């Protein structure tokens, strides 16, 4: 049997501006958080600047894989850090800002946080 080499497409590379446009398109973040989000990715070394592009680092790829692929954490983490949950939280925050009761939002965030912590405990030390 001969080993087979498979070339996978590289992850999309974005400039900071393109990343902000993509975040807006997906309904993620707010104008007040876009720049801070990019800076946080750079500070944590999840991405680096390479020319005009933000390029994922090995650390960034590993963190992403941990949060999206590795049981038992992944199923919980995907829900907690996924786009749908992020959009829902932002919509709730808009409603709270408009005067709605924040308690349901806080309860859902509490449930999600507890589930994530339980998954981390189940995984144990690495």
What are the structural domain ranges in the chain? 11-60, 70-126
Evaluate if residue 65 carries a pLDDT over 80.
yes
pLDDT of amino acid 8: 42
pTM more than 0.85:
no
CB-count burial class (<10 Å; 0-12, 13-18, 19+) for 86: middle
Evaluate if residue 47 carries a pLDDT over 90.
yes
Phi then psi for residue 50, to 5 deg, are: -130, 100
Evaluate if residue 60 carries a pLDDT over 90.
yes
């Amino acid at each position: 049997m001969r080993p087979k080499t498979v070339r996978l497409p590289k992850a999309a590379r974005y400039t900071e501006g393109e990343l902000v446009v993509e975040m807006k398109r997906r309904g993620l973040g707010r104008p007040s958080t876009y720049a801070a989000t990019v800076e946080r990715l750079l500070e944590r070394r999840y991405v680096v600047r390479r020319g005009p592009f933000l390029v994922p680092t090995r650390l960034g790829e590993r963190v992403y894989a941990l949060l999206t692929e590795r049981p038992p954490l992944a199923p919980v983490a995907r829900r907690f850090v996924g786009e749908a949950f992020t959009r829902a939280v932002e919509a709730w925050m808009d409603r709270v800002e408009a005067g709605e009761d924040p308690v349901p939002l806080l309860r859902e965030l509490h449930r999600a946080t507890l589930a994530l912590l339980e998954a981390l405990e189940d995984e144990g030390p690495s």
